[in-house]
Amino acid sequence: MLSPDVVRKDFPILGRKVNGKRLVYFDNASTSHKPRQVIDAISDYYRFHNSNVHRAVHTLSAEATEIYDSSHEKTADFIGAERLEEVVFTKNTTESINIVANHFSGVLKKGDEILLTQMEHHSNLVPWLNAAKLSGARVRYAKIEKTGELDIGHLNDIVTKKTRIVAVTHVSNVLGTINPVKEIADIAHDKGALVLADGAQSVPHMPVNVRKLGCDFLAFSAHKMLGPTGLGVLYGRAALLDSLKPFNFGGDMISEVTFEGAKWNELPWKFEAGTPNMAGAAGMSAAIDYLNRLGMDSVFSHGKGITAYAAKRLEEIGGIEVYGPPLSRKGAVISFNLRGVHPHDVSSILDSEGVAIRGGHHCAMPLMGLLGVSGTSRASFYVYNTKGEVDIFIEALKKVAGVMLK
C-alpha cells in the first residue's frame, strides 16, 4: 500500500503556501510535481557529470553518455519494450506524435484513412489533421457513448482496409476513460492498420506494457510522471521505427555525411538530432526509480481510491454535473461543472483557498462541443494526494456553490 503521507515528504513544493493557505494540488493531469530524488538527479548531473554525449572520449563525456543511454534502457524496461532502440527521447508527447504523423503525411495517399476518437487531446488530433491536409487522406472519428466511453462497435465498423493508422488515447485527460487499447489494436491490425497509443495520462498512473497493449507506437511525457519538463518518449517497434522518416536533421542523427548526402544513424539516435536533454534523462531515470519503488499497481490503486472518495464527496454538492464513465472504468481524473458557473470562476475561487484545479477546454475543444459545454472544471490526482486534501477541496467547492448558486 502506498502511503501518501510518507510520499509527500519527498516533494518540497507541497510544503509551500498559496494565498496564505496550504497548497492542495489537484492539477496533476497538466503536470506532476517532482520529488527531491528527481530534482537532485538533475542538479547532480550539472554539478558532477555535465558534458556532451556520444561525441568525445573524455571521462565526463563517457559519464554523460552512460547516464543518457541508460535512461533509455530504464524507460524501455518500464514500458516492457524489448530494447533501447525502441525508445526515442523527444521533447514531449506532442513531439512524439508529430514524428509519427510527419512520417504518415509523406506516405498517405488520397483514399487512405486516419482513425481517431472523439476524445483526443489536441496533441493527438492536430498533427493528424495536418497529415491529412498534406496527403489528401481522410480523418475519421470513433464515436463516444453518453457515458464517455468509446463506442467500440462504431470503431469496429469504421476500421476498414482504407485505414492506415488508428491513433487513440489510452486514458482521456478530460473524462478519465480508460480505453481498451488491446481490443482496438486487434481490430486495427486485422485490417492492416498500425496503432498509436497516446500514453500521456496512462503511463504515469498504471502499469503499461507495450507488448500487452499491442500498440505499434506509444507516446508519453516525463513531466506528468514525476520527471522533468522537456523530455518525452516515443516508443515504436524497432522494425517500424527503422522504416520511419527522421523528423529533425543534423548532428548525432547521422552515421556518415558527405557534401552530397547523409546516412542515418542507428535507432534510436536517428530521431534524436542535436544535443539532447541529458539532465532531463537523468531526471527521468530517477522518476522511474521512484515510481518502481512505489510499484505501479499501488500507484494505480491509490489513484482509484482518491478518485472514488472525491466522487462520493462531490455528491454532497447540489447542482453539480460530473462527466465520464463509472469509476471502475476510469483513471484519476474527475471533470465536472457547477450548473451555471463558469469553470474559470470555480478555479479562481478555489485558488484563493489554496486549491489548484484546472478549468477550461483541457486542449480537447471538439470533445467540449460534444459535451455541450465550453469547458469543465477538472480535479486530477496523484501519488501524494490525500483524502484530507479532498476534504479541503470539497469545503472550498461548497463555498463556491454558496457564493455563486444563490
Q: How far apart are CA 353 and CA 348, in angstroms?
A: 9
Q: Please identify which residue in 198, 272, 353, 389 interacts with ligand 7TS, judged by CB under 6 A.
A: 198
Residue 173 found at the interface with ligand 7TS (CB under 6 A): yes
Q: How far is the CB of 230 from ligand 7TS (least distance, A)?
A: 10
Q: How far apart are CA 55 and CA 34, in angstroms?
A: 30
With contacts defined by CB under 6 A, name the span among 45-53, 54-62, 120-128, 334-342 that binds ligand 7TS.
120-128
- Of the residues 62, 134, 294, 363, only one is catalytic, namely 363
* Cβ-count burial 292-307 (b if 16+ within 10 Å, e if not): eebebeebbebbbbbb
Quickly list DSSP for 280-306. Answer: HHHHHHHHHHHHHHH-HHHHHHHHHHH
DSSP tally for the chain: helices H, then strands E? 14, 17
* Omega prior to 204 cis, within 30 of 0: no
Toward ligand 7TS, which CB reaches closer, 44 or 351?
A: 351
Question: Would you call 376 helix, strand, or coil by DSSP?
Answer: strand
Question: Would you call 252 helix, strand, or coil by DSSP?
Answer: coil
Toward ligand 7TS, which CB reaches closer, 28 or 65?
A: 28
Within residues 84-103, the interface with ligand 7TS by CB under 6 A covers 92-94
Type of residue found at 249: F
Residue 121 found at the interface with ligand 7TS (CB under 6 A): yes
Helix (H) or strand (E) holding 279: helix 278-294
Catalytic (active site) residue 363: yes
Residue 124 found at the interface with ligand 7TS (CB under 6 A): yes
Q: How far apart are CA 28 and CA 333, in angstroms?
A: 9
Toward ligand 7TS, which CB reaches closer, 71 or 265?
A: 71
Toward ligand 7TS, which CB reaches closer, 179 or 285?
A: 179
Residue 221 found at the interface with ligand 7TS (CB under 6 A): yes
Q: How far is the CB of 65 from ligand 7TS (least distance, A)?
A: 26
Q: How far is the CB of 208 from ligand 7TS (least distance, A)?
A: 13
Q: Please identify which residue in 29, 188, 284, 341 interacts with ligand 7TS, judged by CB under 6 A.
A: 29
Phi, psi of 263 (to 5 degrees): -110, 145
Residue 201 found at the interface with ligand 7TS (CB under 6 A): yes
Q: How far apart are CA 46 and CA 54, in angstroms?
A: 17
Residue 277 found at the interface with ligand 7TS (CB under 6 A): no
Sign, CA dihedral 63-67-68-72, equals positive
Toward ligand 7TS, which CB reaches closer, 33 or 121?
A: 121
Length of the chain: 406
Q: How far is the CB of 6 from ligand 7TS (least distance, A)?
A: 27
Grid coordinates given for 233: 518518449
Instruction: State the number of binding residues for ligand 7TS (CB under 6 A).
Output: 16
Cβ atoms 113, 164 nearer than 8 A: yes
Q: How far is the CB of 364 from ligand 7TS (least distance, A)?
A: 8
Applying CB under 6 A, the residues found at the interface with ligand 7TS are: 29-30, 92-94, 121, 123-124, 169, 173, 198, 200-201, 221, 362-363
Which residues are catalytic, by number? 363
